[in-house]
Chains A and B, each alone.
Chain A
Amino acid sequence: MSATAEPSEAEAASADATGATDAAAATDDADADPATSDGDAETRAGRVANSVASSRTRRTNRWTGITALALLFGAAGLLATRPPLVLAAAVGVGYAAYARAGDAPEPALSITREFGDGASEPGDEVRVVVTVRNVGDEFLPDLRIADGVPDELVVSDGVARLGTALRPGEAATFEYAVTARRGTHEFGPATVVARGFTGTIERVQSVETDGSLACPPSAAGLVDLPLRSLTTPHAGRVSTDVGGSGVEFHSTREYRVGDPLSRVDWNRLARTGEPTTVEFREERSATVTVVVDAREAAYRRGDPAERHAVDRSVEAADGVADALLGGGDKVGLAALGPREFWLAPAAGGGHRARIADALATDRAFSPTPPESTTLTGSHARRIEQRLPESSQVILVSPLPDDWIVRRARLWNARGHLVTVLSPDPMVTDTSGGRLAAVERAERVSRLREAGLRVVDWTADESLAAAVAGTERRWTA
C-alpha cells in the first residue's frame, strides 16, 4: 500500500512560503478581532495570539496507498464480477477524496507560562504550568505542543508536551517540573504541530512565548582559600615573611629605641639582661583577581542532569570572593572566554554586591555555553594587561585543555602568584571520559610541579572540604 510518491521538494518549498504568510495573516486577524473579548483586561491579554516565529506545512503521507486499495478492489470485483468488492472499492475512493479535502489549520494560540515559585534556589523543583488557548475561530482537532524548555533546565517531573484538541476559545493546560539551575533561563519558542481531521497535511509552527526563570546562585558559604604571600602594604589577613606586629611568631632581634614595650621579651631580659624584641609575622592584605574560565570547553559535565563545571566555578568564585572581601582583601573578577567581563580589584560592601550580581546575572557567566569556540588568546592577553602589578590570581577552571595550563604557568611566572581552583567535571563513564580524566589529572600534577597551588574539587564534596584537604599539602 505505497502507491503515491513522496512529495517533491518544490511542492514542500511552495507550501513553506504560503504557510508563513497564511500564519501571519491568521495572527493579524486574531489581533484585530476584539469581538470575542469581553473588555476585561486580563482575559484580553490571555486572548491575543502569540506571534509565530516560523511556520511551514508538511505532508504527512498519511493516506498514501488508499487509492491503490480502491483500484485493487475495483479491478478484482470487475474481473470476478462481484458487486460487493466494487462497493468496497467505493470505500477506498471515498477515503481518498476525504484525504484530498483535508487541509492544515492555521492555529492562533495564546501560550502563557506560570512558574510555581518566583525566587528559587538552585536544585529546587519549580513547577511550570503552561496554558494554551485557541484564540482563532477554527477548531483544532489535533494539536501537539512541545514547550521550549531551555537546555540547562532539566525536566524532573512530568513532560513538557501535550496533545490535545481545542475548540475556539477553549484552553488546555499542562504542567511539569524543572530543576532550577543558577542564572536567568529564557524559555524558547514552543513547537506546535497542528493537523486537521484528515491529517494529510500538518502545520509546524514555532510560537514565540515570554517567560524566563531567574534563579539566584545559592549561597556557596564562605570559602577561606589561603592566599599566597604576595601582598599590599595594608593590614590584612595574609601572614607574610615580614617581621612586625601580628599573631604568629616570626623572630627575635635586638631591642631598638622606640619598640613597643609589649613586644619586649621580658623573660629573656630577666635571664640574660639583654633587651630583645619579639617580632611576629606581619599580616597584610592582598590584591586578588578571580578569573573564571568560561570558555566553551569549560562547560563540561559528567551527566546531562549534573551541573556543568562553569556553574560550579561560579559558585566557587562567589564563595571565595565573598570570604576574601570579608577579610579586607581587594578582589577583582574576570571571565576568560568569548564573552568578556572585567571588574578591577577593589574592596568594600558595594564591590561585594557588584561581584555577586555579576556572577548571578552577567552573560559572561551565563549557564549556557557561548556559541563561538574561537581561541581566546586575545581575551587572555587583555586580562593580563589589566591585572594590577601586585595582584594574585585565583583561576577557577576545570582544566579542560593544555592551553589553560600554559596560561596559568605564564601568569605565575610573571609574578601573579596563581592558585588554581578546579572543579572536577567527573566524566568517567565512557572510555573517552576516562581518557579526559587521566589528562586532567596529569594537568593538575603538571601545575603542581610548576609550583602553583591547585585545589582539585570533586563534585561530591563541598568546596570548603576540598580546600581544607588540599591546604594540608601546602603547609606540610
Chain B
Amino acid sequence: MSDAVPELTRRPTRAASAIAVAALGAAALASAPYSRYVVWTGVPAVALLAIGLTVGSRRSITFGCATLLVGVLAAGVEGLPALPTLASVTATVIAWDAGHQAVGVGEQLGREPRTVRAELPHVGATAAVGAVIALGSYAAFFAAPGGLPVSAVALALLGAVSLLVALRVRGG
C-alpha cells in the first residue's frame, strides 16, 4: 500500500526551467559572435543554471546567470555593440527570473501538480517588461541628437537608482 502513495518531489517545475535554459542560451548566442569572453562564459553559465534547475539550488542559478553577465561585461568593455549587449543582459535577467520561479513553484507545490498557468504569466510579464525597457533605451540611444555623452547618461541612471533607493526606504 505504501508504494502506491505518490511522494511530492520538491524539484523545480519543468516549464519555467525550460524557459530559463532557453533564455540563457539565447543570451549567450546573442553576443557570442562578437566576443570570445561570452563564448568562454556561456557554456559554464548554462551548465550552472542546468545544475541549479536539476537540484533546485537558487544559488547555482544565480551564479550561472552572473557568470554570463561577467562575460558580457568584459565583452562590453572591449566594445560589444549596443543591440547584442541589451539582448544578452535582458535575456539573462529573464533566465534568472524564470529559474527562480521554477524553484519557487517547485518548493511550494512540487513537480507533480499542474503549475504551468502559475509560471507563464510571471515569466511572460518579465519578458515583456524587459523587451519594453531594452527597446525603449535602444530607441532613446539612437534618437538622442549626436549621441549623449556617456557621463550624462550615467548620471541620469545614477539619479534613477538613488530615486529607487529612496522609494525603497520610504515604502519599506
Contacts and interface: CB of A to CB of B under 8 A. Distances in A.
**A pairs with B:** yes
Interface of A: 1-2, 11, 14, 60, 62, 65-67, 69-74, 76-78, 80-98, 100, 141-144, 146, 154-159, 161-165, 172, 174, 193, 195, 197-199, 303-306
Given A87-B85, A142-B121, A159 B101 contact: no
Contacts of B110: 159, 161
A195 B115 CA distance: 14
Given A91-B133, A162-B115, A163-B118, A84 B161 contact: no
B113 to A, nearest CB: 4
A86 B62 contact: no
B143 interface: no
A162 B100 contact: no
Interface string B15-52: 00000000000000000000000000000000000000
Contacts of A11: 172
Given A87-B86, A91-B130, A100-B167, 12 more contacts: A72-B73, A77-B150, A84-B82, A90-B137, A91-B90, A94-B136, A154-B5, A155-B5, A161-B112, A163-B108, A164-B117, A305-B4
B135 to A, nearest CB: 10
A78 B81 CA distance: 15
B158 interface: yes
Contacts of B134: 91
12 contacts: A1-B62, A84-B81, A94-B130, A146-B109, A162-B113, A163-B117, A163-B119, A165-B121, A197-B125, A198-B125, A305-B2, A305-B5
Contact of B133 (A82, A95, A157, A199): A95
Contacts of A304: 2, 5
B55 interface: no
A418 to B, nearest CB: 33
A67 B162 CA distance: 10
Most interface-central of A86, A100, A143 (chain B CB within 10 A): A86
B34 to A, nearest CB: 10
A157 B119 CA distance: 23
Interface of B: 1-2, 4-6, 8, 13, 62, 65-66, 69, 72-73, 76-77, 79-82, 85-86, 89-90, 93, 97, 100-101, 104-105, 108-110, 112-122, 125-126, 129-130, 132-134, 136-138, 141, 147, 150-151, 153-154, 157-158, 160-161, 164-165, 167-168, 171-172
B81 A97 contact: no
A82 B62 contact: no
Nearest to B69: A69
Contacts of B80: 82, 84
Contacts of B126: 197
A102 to B, nearest CB: 10
B122 to A, nearest CB: 5
A178 to B, nearest CB: 10
Given A84-B76, A85-B73, A87-B137, A163 B115 contact: yes
A174 B82 contact: no
B122 A84 contact: no
Contacts of B121: 141-142, 165, 197
Q: Which 3 A-B pairs have the closest CB atoms?
A: A163-B118, A163-B115, A94-B133
Contact of A142 (B1, B76, B118, B153): B118
B124 to A, nearest CB: 9
A73 B112 CA distance: 39
A78 B122 contact: no
B150 A93 contact: no
Contacts of B125: 141, 197-198
Given A77-B150, A78-B151, A70 B77 contact: no
Contacts of A172: 117
A305 B65 CA distance: 42
A174 B114 contact: yes
B89 to A, nearest CB: 4
Given A62-B100, A87-B138, A165-B121, A100 B93 contact: no
A91 B90 CA distance: 7
Contacts of B66: 1
Nearest to B122: A142
B44 to A, nearest CB: 16
A380 B137 CA distance: 80
A303 B100 CA distance: 35
Most interface-central of A66, A142, A158, A165 (chain B CB within 10 A): A142
Contacts of A141: 121-122, 125
A3 B77 CA distance: 23
B104 to A, nearest CB: 7
Contacts of B115: 144, 162-164
Contacts of A80: 76-77
A165 B118 contact: yes
Contacts of B116: 163
Contacts of B141: 83, 87
A14 B125 CA distance: 28
Contacts of A156: 4-6
Contacts of B138: 87
B114 A163 contact: yes
Contacts of B161: 67, 70-71, 74, 93, 96
B140 to A, nearest CB: 8
B147 A83 contact: yes
